[in-house]
Structure 1
Amino acid sequence: MAEGKRKEEWSRYSCSNKGCRDYGVTGKGNVRLERYYGRNGVALLRCKTCMKTFSENRGTPLFRLRLPYEKLREVLTSLVRCGSIRGTADTVGVNKNTVERVVKLAGAQMKRFNDFMLRDLRMNQAQCDEFWTYIKSKRGVRMTRVRARGTSP
């Protein structure tokens, strides 16, 4: 990966230290790459203003998750298809507790996202669902319908 390309990517990050005067400010050039760490090669970033370090994954479901990204994708895909935690663990070859942790992390992130969409865009739940259905159709992505137990399609 070209160094210039990676340097440009860091401008979209902001300092995660609430005590920093550049907290939440993107594009200022105060965030730089410190090093990569872990088996997934996660970037450890440093704010030039307050000198604190933070992970590029902070605030995402990937934060503090040691599972390889490919395995995480398999877990999430299997969950969508079969909907069973134990079945997903058996299919993917991970511990049931790992699948439960992924579900909790992804669920918490989706709740924050949904709350943001409903609050800041003044949408109710039905409007939010319609919005994402429209976005997915424009991208050409096939949406998977998740059915509740005991209901027919």
Structure 2
Amino acid sequence: MVELERHFCPNQECKDYGLRNRGNIAMRGKYGKDKSRDLLYCRTCGKRFAATQSSALFGLHLPAETIRAIIHHAAEGIGVRATARLLGLDKDTVNRVILRAGEHCASVLSSLLTSLELTEAQMDELWTFVKKRKILAPPKTSRAGTGGPGSGRPLTSLHDC
């Protein structure tokens, strides 16, 4: 069953646009080839929309679990081709899902940052914190030239380990 409280009207001209828990979203029916996707309805403006319309899953013809697996692999640093092999998908499909998820994250982050109401003092505190983190972060060191494991240089004796 769909949790209607989580959804909002995507119609920008609706007076309840972007607002959750207003009681204006209702279940309208099912759609899709096997009627497995939920169709919602805004009682305020009358617009019908897919339950996944404002998510990264909208318009993709893959199961939600497969999309989540692709995003999880990308977050873990697994490459596009390796992810495609592991999940039995085409690399272009995996790339398209990752790009769509990235665009969705960027739009969500942008809307969250624009709706953030901070005073000038709070912004200054935040900037100082970020700047200090960069200064206090330990410098990245390279193991090149050490001859130790992983350096790519051959060992000349057992004492090099």
With the shorter chain as reference, the TM-score category is 0.5 to 0.7
User: Using a 3 Å threshold, how does the CA distance of structure 1 residues 48 and 113 change in structure 2: closer, same or farther?
Assistant: closer
Partner of 1:49: 44
Matches within 5 A, 1:1-153: 6=2, 9-38=3-32, 41-119=36-114, 120=116
How many residues in Structure 1 have an aligned counterpart in Structure 2? 122
CA RMSD, Structure 1 to Structure 2 (Å): 2.9
- SS of structure 1 residue aligned to 2:52: coil
Deviation at 1:111, TM superposition (A): 1.8
TM-score by length of 2: 0.61
- For structure 2, the 5+ residue unaligned runs are 134-149, 151-161
Rg comparison, structure with higher value: 2
Higher relative contact order (CA 8 A, sep 6+): 1
1:118/1:51 CA distance change after superposition, 3 Å: closer
Following superposition, the deviation at residue 32 of structure 1 comes to 0.3
Between structures 1 and 2, the one with greater helix share: 1
Distance of 1:11 and 1:118 partners within structure 2: 23
- Stretch moving more, 15-24 or 45-54: 15-24
Q: Distance in 2 between matches of 1:78 and 1:14?
A: 29
* Identity in percent: 33
